[in-house]
Structures are given as structure tokens and as C-alpha cells.
Amino acid sequence: MTIAKIDLTQRLKGKVAVITGGASGIGLATAKRFAAEGAIVVIGDFNAEAGEAAAKLVDGLFVQVDVTDEDEVNNLFDSAQATYGSVDIAFNNAGISPPDDDSIETTELPAWQRVQDVNLKSVYLCSRAALRHMVKQQSGSIINTASFVAVLGSATSQISYTASKGGVLAMTKELGVQFARQGIRVNALCPGPVNTPLLQELFAKDPERAQRRLVHIPKGRFAEPEELAAAVAFLASDDASFITASTFLVDGGISSAYVTPL
């Protein structure tokens, strides 16, 4: 009896993957991981210089995009389809966490709205654009970046960020259920705090607030972007073929912790 060999380093071979926020942080780490697993990568980012560099790094395509603009989002996914013939994976990852998004008592409406647009409206637009292609194919995997704060309250409040990520999680569940029988899986990645430039900036500006976050993580450290990328690659692959509408927590145990270990 011959047992078929599976090359797990090529799980995504030939798949066309679109990544928003792909020029830095989790997005860039995922672009590298996708490429290593054989995917064709399309980087969508607002930063043209960083986006071009990221695309060159993974031998992919860069499309500049404002993820809050419907026409630009449609162009991103249509360009992937036109260039490579399909849209198999959408990692809707772009997001912001600006300092003027804080407690509900101090966060003003413009700050609230900007975060909602970039973090939640963009996922609606990107999912919609990806689904136009995936429904025709009757296949695809969408991974939306939510957060651990979508499932528990944060003492270091970012009110609009938290609300936006809760919206991403709820929308993801609905889409995962709605399109399950059309061969399309939709899952929410819920990271804990990740060691990205955004978090490093927080450390520099407010070490006490950053330490308040770190102390509650049972693992005792922040995640590395590559650890999130590994989770996204799994969700994108056929190894996750029975996983949809899920809250995929990669948070070092923070959402299950009552007190931190000694």
C-alpha cells in the first residue's frame, strides 16, 4: 500500500491571496508565510513605498488602496482576479488604533468614526468585493482580523477600536454561516497584543499602560507577527476545511485568564 505524501510547506500552492495592511506587521508576516507556502500574494496597502517593497519581497503584486473607499477596494480584488485568474484567499487585516481613541468619556465623534471606517467598514467592503469572485468560483477562504477585545472588556479602553472589532467578529460569523454551502469559509482571527510597530509605539509613549496589558497575558509576553501569520495560513488552507464562522483566538490565553500565574 502506497501512502500519499503531503507537502505541508506548499499548502497554498497556486492560491491567489489578497492581503490588506500587507506592508507591515501581521499583514507583512502573513504575506511572507503565504508566499513560503506557495501562494501568489497581492498586497493592498495605503503606503505605496512600503507596499511596493513588500510585494517585491514576496514576488507578488502591489495595489495601492484606501480600504475605506469602495471603488479602490473593488479595484484591489478585481486587479487580483484580472492578473492571476482568481481570488482564493482574502485576509482583511487593515486596521488602526490611534491615540485619540480612548475612553468613551474623552473620545470624540471624529475619532470614533475614523476608526469605524478603517476597522469595520473596510472589512464589509473587502468581504463584499472578495465574495463577488468567490461566489462565482464556489470556493474561497476569508479571514478577518478582529481582536481579543471583541470577546472581553479591556481595562485600557479604546472604545471605537473595541466596538469595531466586535462588529468584525459578528459580521464574520454571519458571513461564515451564510456562505458555508457555497464552498466559502469566513473566520475571524482574534489576536492578543502583538509585538508590532504599533505596540512598540505604545510602549514608548505610555510604558505603564503597556505594562498593564502585558501583566495579564498568561504566556508572559506579546505575540510575534509570525505566530499570527501561522494561524492565518492554517485558516486559509484546506487543513481548516471544516472551520468556518469561528472565533479563532491566538491570544496567549488572555481571554481565558482570571488571574495571571505566579
Task: Tell me if the domain spanning 11-195+225-247 has CATH number 3.40.50.1110.
Answer: no
What is the average pLDDT score of the chain? 94
What pTM value is reported for the model?
0.94
Kindly tell me if the per-residue pLDDT of 52 is higher than 70: yes
Report the distance separating Cα 96 and Cα 45, nearest Å.
Answer: 13
Q: What are the sequence ranges of the domains in the chain?
A: 11-195+225-247
Report the candidate in 82, 172, 156 with the shortest Cα–Cα distance to residue 119: 172
Concerning whether 161 is annotated as a catalytic residue, the answer is yes
Distance between CA 27 and CA 153 in Å, rounded? 25
226-256 as b/e, with b when 16 or more CB fall inside 10 Å?
A: ebbbebbbbbbbeebeeebbbbbbbbbbbee
Q: Helix, strand or coil for residue 61?
A: strand
Per residue in 64-117, pLDDT (tens digit) is 999 999 999 999 999 999 999 999 999 999 999 999 999 999 999 999 999 999
Residue-level pLDDT at 2: 62
Burial class from Cβ neighbours inside 10 Å (0-12, 13-18, 19+) for residue 175 reads: buried
Q: How far apart are CA 247 and CA 256, in angstroms?
A: 13
> Could you tell me the pLDDT band of residue 43, with boundaries at 50, 70 and 90?
very high
Rounded Cα distance, 218 and 221, in Å: 8
Catalytic residue among 84, 124, 161, 258: 161
Q: Decide if pLDDT at 8 tops 80.
A: no
